[in-house]
Amino acid sequence: AQSVAQPEDQVNVAEGNPLTVKCTYSVSGNPYLFWYVQYPNRGLQFLLKYITGDNLVKGSYGFEAEFNKSQTSFHLKKPSALVSDSALYFCAVRDIEAGNNRKLIWGLGTSLAVNP
Amino acid sequence: DTAVSQTPKYLVTQMGNDKSIKCEQNLGHDTMYWYKQDSKKFLKIMFSYNNKELIINETVPNRFSPKSPDKAHLNLHINSLELGDSAVYFCASSRVPLSYEQYFGPGTRLTVT
């Protein structure tokens, strides 16, 4: 069965330190992977995606993610965290079994808290 | 200009009532979605329309009925509201042919009392 896992409910990091939010996936075929961010009382915002090509993907707000096929991971990273990065982060993967219906399988979210 | 907009932003109503939430996107996208986000922030796809055709219809009570009058609009009507329907409902849209990026509206917080 296809799935996405975000093993950490919460990540705490000090401002200025590097941050990592973890995501692992299980799909058949080539994965299309996504990261979204949800600020309090807001809708989700697209951060970045991996479809093909370079394993290191750069996105909005200085975030990047590394696709690792052997470890079936797509961890979100940022070299220096800001307090304003505090939010809920969702990893998602294309549901291949849904065909062309462009359905995503969503992780449960990881709450990132950046402490000043 | 707001890309994906929803109305109302907040909706407080009593059990048994019928209510509607409206969504509009001005991105020129052809696919629109309804999601439900519960109190634990879990995100669940409910429906999706592509060019006014229903393409995703998840296991959702039939009290929920989506309607897409055109590809820029997707509405959600809920009959006989129950306490468990309280959640934040998000509309989203995406574009053909291979883009899976979804653009979300600000959400409608529904509270059923």
Provide the pLDDT for residue B99.
Answer: 67
Q: Give the whole-angstrom CA distance, residue A51 versus residue A60.
A: 16
Q: Which residue's structure tokens are 């574009």?
A: B95
- Asked whether A40 and A87 are in contact (CB, 8 A), the reply is yes
Q: Give the whole-angstrom CA distance, residue A58 versus residue A51.
A: 12
Q: Give the whole-angstrom CA distance, residue A59 versus residue A67.
A: 13
Residue of A nearest to B36 (CA): A43
- Asked whether A94 and A27 are in contact (CB, 8 A), the reply is yes
Listed in sequence order, the DSSP H helices in chain A are: none
What's the longest Cα–Cα distance across chain A?
Answer: 45
In the predicted model, what is the mean pLDDT of residues B83-106? 87
Q: Give the whole-angstrom CA distance, residue A42 versus residue A48.
A: 18
Q: What SS3 class is residue A44?
A: strand
Provide the pLDDT for residue A88.
Answer: 97
Contacts of B45 in chain A (CB under 8 A): 103-104, 106
pLDDT band at residue B100 using 50, 70 and 90 as cut-offs = confident
Provide the pLDDT for residue A59.
Answer: 94
Provide the pLDDT for residue A100.
Answer: 64
- Asked whether A53 and A62 are in contact (CB, 8 A), the reply is no
- Which tokens sit at B17? 């009532």
Contact yes or no for A102 and B31 at CB 8 A: yes
- The per-residue pLDDT for range A2-24, each reduced to its tens digit, is 899 999 999 999 999 999 999 99
Find the CB nearest B100 among A42, A43, A104: A104
Asked if the model's pLDDT at residue B110 lies above 90, the reply is yes
Residues of B with CB under 8 A from a CB of A: 4, 31, 41-43, 45, 48, 50, 55-56, 90, 92, 94, 98-107
User: What DSSP character marks residue B9?
Assistant: S
- The per-residue pLDDT for range B25-49, each reduced to its tens digit, is 999 998 999 999 999 999 999 999 9
The share of chain A scoring above pLDDT 70, in percent, equals: 97
The domains located in chain A, with CATH, are: 3-115 (2.60.40.10)
Q: What is the CATH number of domain B4-112?
A: 2.60.40.10
